[in-house]
Amino acid sequence: MYSNLSNFSEGVDNAFVIIFSVIAVFLVGLTVLLIYFLFRYSEKRNPQPTPIKGNMWLEIVWTIIPLGLVLGMFYYGWMAWIPMLSKAPENSIEIKTTAQMWSWKFEYENGKRTDTLIIPLGKPIELIANSPDVLHSLYIPAFRIKRDIVPGRITTMWFKANREGEYNLFCAEYCGLQHSYMKTEVKVLSPEKYDEWYIDTTAAVALTSIPGAAGLKIIRDMGCTACHSLDGSTLVGPTYKGVFGHEVDVITNGKERKVIADAEYIKNSINNPNDDIVKGFNKGLMRSYKNELTDDEIEQIILYLQTLSGGKE
């Protein structure tokens, strides 16, 4: 179990230890009493049950003590929770976070986008989160933080990492068929390494020099590979490998037909994904990207798909 990995960890862990300790004491105590009563008041020892009269003071005591324990547990939980609702410090690093079926996307102040959360050690981080589709919940167990992300609403949360390393980030709200695959990592870097990564432009230069790589970056940034493979394997949606320029069986308005997966078909599938459903796959799983991808970005995607089909026009 991780310890004190974020500025909120200690409060949450203290509340957990206190609540767990109270539960453990009661579990052991009540189990011992139960076993004792089984022998002490068995039918053999008490063939004639002895009536027990009420005791006002006993009633008061075992009402007040549990009430005090519950209020105490509530207090520690409350004191751990309230700081999480506080406003992020003014010097926080703001990272736009998009939760969508079934991937995470993080955009930094310099325009960089990643599918893993990369942050510096010891600096406050504010996540400005939204969801374009359904309810999600951003959960980083090691940091003891979780926040629901509601469609149509901007959700903010902040924290500060206390130790370098890589930690799991999950979606903790059921969001559809591939919910269990909606996970990524938080990478905590030293301030020096983070600054080096943050200002590094060599990756962008290298990207533009490889045919189709710009389209691959868009596909990954938008989370498309959560449902569409690049190697021919079958996921929630059809694979991208070998699809461009080839004949595809689709269901259109309930009728089966054959189409060629050309540029126009790819563009329409991105903007209106439920018009033509590839045979063998379900309708309604993909949302429209009509207002999220420009024509130039779609063109880059098409160029990349051509490379997966041997460059077929």
Q: What string of H, E and C letters represents the secondary structure of 98-115?
A: EEECCEEEEECCCCCEEC
CA distance 76 to 66: 16
Residue ranges per domain, the chain? Answer: 9-85, 93-200, 207-307
Domain 9-85 classification at class level:
mainly alpha
The continuous run of DSSP H or E covering 255 comes out as strand 255-260
pLDDT at 210: 60
pLDDT at 2: 60
pLDDT at 32: 96
Residues with Cβ within 8 Å of residue 153, at least 6 apart in sequence: 130
pLDDT at 201: 55
Query: What is 93-200's CATH number?
Result: 2.60.40.420
What are the residue ranges in the chain where pLDDT is below 50? 205
CB 145 within 8 A of CB 110: no
CB 278 within 8 A of CB 238: yes
pLDDT at 225: 81
CB 220 within 8 A of CB 199: no
Beta strands per DSSP E along 68-182: 93-100, 103-107, 113-114, 117-120, 124-130, 136-140, 145-149, 155-160, 165-171
Q: Which CATH number fits domain 207-307: 1.10.150.20, 1.10.760.10, 3.20.20.80, 3.20.20.140?
A: 1.10.760.10
pLDDT at 209: 56
User: Side by side, which strands form the sheet with 117-120?
Assistant: 117-120, 183-189, 165-171, 136-140, 145-149
> With left for phi above 0 and alpha for psi between -120 and 50, is residue 223 left, alpha or beta?
left
pLDDT at 204: 53
pLDDT at 200: 72
| Six-digit token string for 304 | 């990349």
pLDDT at 207: 53
